[in-house]
Amino acid sequence: MSGPVQSAPNYTNAALVMGFVNLMWVFVLIFILWGIPAVMVLAVILNAGIDRLARRKDRHAPRA
């Protein structure tokens, strides 16, 4: 158990791809159930949330 410490694998790309896959099947399901207007509303809401997170991250970023 006292072997050399190794760095953790980088799973960023895998997480991004699976996030995209999950987003797509959710959009397809909503499209099937309620149509394109519901998908567009959800997309706008998600975009607003992502923009809000980006602004908060920029606001709390250390000044260089």
What pTM does this model have?
0.72
Residue 18 banded pLDDT, cuts 50, 70, 90: very high
Cα(first)–Cα(last) distance of the chain, in Å? 41
Rounded to an integer, the average pLDDT of 2-21 is 93
User: What pLDDT, on a 0 to 100 scale, did the predictor assign at position 1?
Assistant: 62
Report the chain's mean pLDDT, rounded to a whole number.
Answer: 93
C-alpha distances in angstroms, 28 versus 7, 8, 31, 54? 38, 34, 5, 26
